[in-house]
Every structure is written in C-alpha cells, then in structure tokens.
A and B are shown apart, each in its own frame.
Chain A
Amino acid sequence: MQEAEILFENIEFLLIAGVVIVLAYLALEHRDIVYAAFFFGFMATGVAGIFILLEAPFVAGLQIAIYTGGITALIIFGVLLIPRAQDSTLEVLHSPRMRKVGLVLSISVVVISALIALLFPWQESIPPEHIPLSQSLEGLAEWLWGTHAVYLEIIAMLLFVGLVGSVAIIRMEKEEQLRPRTEDFSLPIPEESEPESATSGMPVLEARDVKEEKEVE
C-alpha cells in the first residue's frame, strides 16, 4: 500500500511538472503576447497543483487567487493598455549563438540545482513533528496571525509602498505630458550624435512602468 502510494505520488508529480513545463514554454515562446499571458495563467494554476501535492492547501488557494486571478489580469491589462505591447513578442535573441548560450546556461542551472537537491536532501532535515501543520489551516492561522503577525504587517507596508509608487509613476507621466522636458538627455558619447528627445525616451519609461507595477505583487 505504502509503495503504491509513493508510486502514485511520483506519477502525479511527473504529470503536473510536465504540464507546467509545457505551459511555461508556450508562455515564453508563443508569438501572440495575449496568448502568452493566458498560458502564463494556466501555468500558475498548474503550480497550484504542485502545492496540493505538497499538502499545502492554503498556498494552493493563494496561488490560484493571486497568480491566476491577479497577476495574469495585471499582465493582460498591461498588454492591452500599453502602446505597442501587443505587436511585440517577448525578448528575441537574434543570433543563434546567444540562443545556445542561454539554453546551456538554463540547463546548467536546472542540473546544478537538481544535483544539490540530491546531494543535500533537505526534506530529511525537517523534523516530522512539523508536518501536521501543513494540512491544518488552524495551525497555520495560529502560527501566522498568532505569533508571527509582524510578517503580515510588513506585507501590508509593502503593498502600501507599491500602490503609492504606481500612482506616483502615473502622476509623473501626466507631468511629463503637460510640461514635456525638451533638454538634451543624451550621454556624452561621441558616436551617438543624435540627441535623445523627450518623445523618443517614451518606450524606456513605459517598460520601467510595467516592471514597477509587476513588483507590487
């Protein structure tokens, strides 16, 4: 019975991991960025399956509520609202050599982390008396709200800063539209003779906006 259960668990993990990897690949490589955003949402749901497999139902619910619901909506809104984002794909490595280097780097990161997990089995270092905590929401609430609520206050402050920062960026954009700065912002490089005006600097600003707002999560 025990062996069958372990085998069943392994099969479940391989299935979920395969689905997540395929969806992550589609989210990265799909040509239409709107489709890529939707694949990201499905991938986040698949990751919730891994949390269920780890017997952490609260984290799985959080994953679906925040990643599938919130972050995906944020990305889709970003794609729909930001000019020219729909025509662009994610970053394309033009030379095949760069592509190969990136592939080798990512594969080596995966292999090294798998080797470390095999050599230093962290799951054996967790004392078994902590395991009931993962399944019981009561215990989790006791731990989080009862004794470690300062973490939640830090999260609240982080969300506060994120909201204020995102509204400040929008305010800055308005200022820039009302009073465009037309000074010469170009760095003193002799090759680049063309001075960068305020309008040609727009795409850089927009890219930074998206990054800032994604960090709010």
Chain B
Amino acid sequence: MRLFIDFVPLLLWMGLVTALVIVMLLASWVLRPHVLQNSEKTSTYECGEEPLGPARISFPYSYIIYTVLFLVVDVMGAFMWLYAVSALRTSVFVVWQVVVFAAVIMAAVMFVLKILPKAQMTGPEVVALYEAAKEQATGLHSEG
C-alpha cells in the first residue's frame, strides 16, 4: 500500500506530455521554412504598427491584492475540503468551528473589497495630480 505506486500512471502521463512537447517542437522545426531571421522578423507583431518600447509594461501594482485574495480563499478552500470529505461534517461542534473559521476569513475579504475602491487612485484624482504637476512645470519653465 505505497502511495507512490498509485502515482506511477501520473508519472507515465507526465513523460508522455514531455515527449509530445519535444515531438511537436521538432516537427515544427522540420516543417517550417528556414528563412533569414532579422530584427524585422523577430520583433513583436503589433497589428502592422512599429512596436514602441518593450511589450512588458507595468500596471498599477495595487492589483496584486486580487492575487492575495485568491491565495487566502485557496487556503480556506483546502482546509474546508478536508472537513467536507470527512465524517465530521455531521458534528455540530465542528460545524460551528468551520463557521467561525470561514467567518473570520470572509470578514477580511469583505473588508478588502469594501476598502479597495477607496484605496486605489480614481480617474479624477489622477487627472488632478497631472494638472497640478503640469501647472508646476509650466510655472518653473516660465520662471526660467
């Protein structure tokens, strides 16, 4: 009764997947026309436009909070799954423990979702900041 034995089909499947990837890459290498590669050919395709700057730009990083939310719900789900598959799901005491566990985490999630619109920069605020910076810059320019 070794657990690893049960996972041997999974290992075989992983081997098959790796082999498939290698075969597909090799096949496309064999089949594709080998023409001269230059910077025009290898550049990013942007609907026929000249690409401006690198393709990887950074977004406002307050969006990372959504990943943190996902992680928290992930942990909660894992522990609640353990409870849900066991025979404990009929025990009243354990159900109350689960309710407290879920309520604490969901309270945090609700708090974050409530406070998040106020924590991020809104459009008018960004515009006001931009206007102020522009005014300051033009003021400096006219002084100089």
Task: Determine if chain A interacts with chain B.
Answer: yes
Binding site for B on A (CB under 8 A): 5, 9, 12, 34, 52-53, 55, 57-58, 61-62, 65-66, 69-71, 73-74, 77-78, 80-86, 135, 137-138, 140-142, 144-146, 149, 152-153, 155-157, 159-160, 162-164, 166-167, 170-171, 173-174, 177-178, 206, 209, 213, 216-217
Which residues of B pack against A, CB within 8 Å?
1-4, 7, 56, 58-72, 74-79, 82-83, 85-88, 91, 94, 97-98, 100-101, 104-105, 107-109, 111-112, 115-116, 118-121, 125, 129
Main secondary structure of the interface of A (DSSP, over half): helix
B68 contacts A74, C-beta separation under 8 Å: yes
The CA-CA distance from A152 to B100 in the complex, in Å, is: 10
Selected A-B contacts with CB under 8 Å, 18 pairs: A55-B3, A58-B82, A70-B71, A77-B66, A78-B64, A135-B3, A141-B86, A146-B91, A149-B97, A152-B79, A156-B105, A157-B104, A159-B104, A160-B107, A163-B72, A163-B109, A167-B116, A206-B61
Number of A-B contacts (CB under 8 A): 166
Question: Chain A residues with Cβ under 8 A from B125's Cβ?
Answer: 178
Known: A77-B64, A153-B101, A167-B112. A135 touches B119 (CB 8 A): no
A174-B68 contact given A80-B59, A135-B3, A152-B79, CB 8 Å threshold: no
Q: Which of B4, B60, B104, B115 contacts A81 (CB 8 A)?
A: B60
Q: Hey, which chain B residues are within 8 Å of A140, CB to CB?
A: 82
Q: Are B86 and A52 touching (Cβ within 8 A)? A: no
Residues of A close to B71: CB separation below 8 A:
66, 70-71, 73-74, 216-217
Contact check: which of A52, A137, A153, A178 meets B129 at CB < 8 Å? A178
Check if A142 sits within 8 Å of B68, measured CB to CB. no
Q: How far is the CA of A178 from the CA of B86 in the complex (A)?
A: 51
